[in-house]
Amino acid sequence: MRYLVTSGWLEQQLNKKEYRVVDCRFHLDAPYKGRDLYKEGHIPGAVYFDLEMDMSAEEENHGGRHPLPDMNDFAEKLSNCGIDKSTKVVAYDDQGGAMAARFWWMLMYLGHKDVYVLDRPFSIWKEEKRPVEQHIPTYEPKVFLPEIEPHLLVHLEEVKLVLQDKTAALIDARDKDRFKGKRDNVDGIAGHIPGARHYFWKNVLDESGKWKDSNKLKTYFKDLPKEDDIFSYCGSGVTACVNVLALKEAGHENARLYAGSWSDWITYDDLPIETDKDN
């Protein structure tokens, strides 16, 4: 695997100065819970990045519920945690990799290649009796210089073009009921972008919550041509990052993120919505 690491491997790296561990735990229904849990105990040496405070900008009329923050501001936060381009970074959460994958994608977008995601939840790390500490670490600041990789991000206009020319595959990471338009208690408007295929993000995990291996991921995404661009979206651009990471693990190099996702799409009255309530 290229971007997923095991708990055994990570434990061996904890005392190495070139590594930085990032705790990304976050609960959408309780915004401060992730930070509180971090204070109660985390992987030794880990710093904390908050989905809404650190990895998102303020919500506006367009752009989705979790729009990307100013990347220079985000780079400054990385710098303050002692992270630069020479640092090897490993992110984890306890939400099936959703928040950690968002962090992973953002570093990739900033041109940082040495970033990885723990292949299992923090709760399994604890079950394995691996080290946990309450100490909040501080690090000497470094200078993270962003080098944006624009091809990793999909803009709204590109998604609209796909509706016409079908030059890219569009995949939706939300649960089946939201995708089919049966209900949407999160964004209020149910349905999906026309032509999108359903790839629920939790399907890249096994029964225990660990990420599936690359062979199983290749099987899961076998109907998506590897040479095609794949535009991944979800509700607000978070769990879509899980599919981007999983696709790259499966050898799909052209996986890209529509960061605004469904919560951006539905803010435009002239954009079409498709439903499939009968199946």
pLDDT per position as a tens digit, 74-124: 999 999 999 999 999 999 999 999 999 999 999 999 999 999 999 999 999
Nearest to 38 by CA among 93, 99, 100: 93
In whole numbers, what is the pLDDT of the chain averaged over residues? 95
Contact 137, 48 (CB under 8 A): no
Look at residue 276 and tell me whether its pLDDT is greater than 60.
Answer: yes
pLDDT of residue 206: 97
Active site residues: 234
Q: pLDDT tens digits for 16-72? A: 999 999 999 999 999 899 999 999 999 999 999 999 999 999 999 999 999 999 999
How far from 89 is each of 51, 167, 192, CA to CA, in Å?
Answer: 17, 34, 34
- Predicted structure pTM score: 0.96
**pLDDT higher than 80, residue 278:** no
pLDDT reading at 1 higher than 70: no
The pLDDT value given to residue 215: 95
CB 221 within 8 A of CB 250: yes
pLDDT, tens digit, 9 for 90 and up, residues 135-165? 999 999 999 999 999 999 999 999 999 999 8
Question: Is pLDDT at 181 greater than 70 in this prediction?
Answer: yes
Classify each residue of 14-49 as buried b or exposed e, where b means 16 or more C-beta atoms within 10 Å of its C-beta.
Answer: beeeebbbbbbbbebeeeeebbebbeebbbbbbbbb
User: What whole-number distance in Å separates Cα of residue 153 and Cα of residue 256?
Assistant: 6
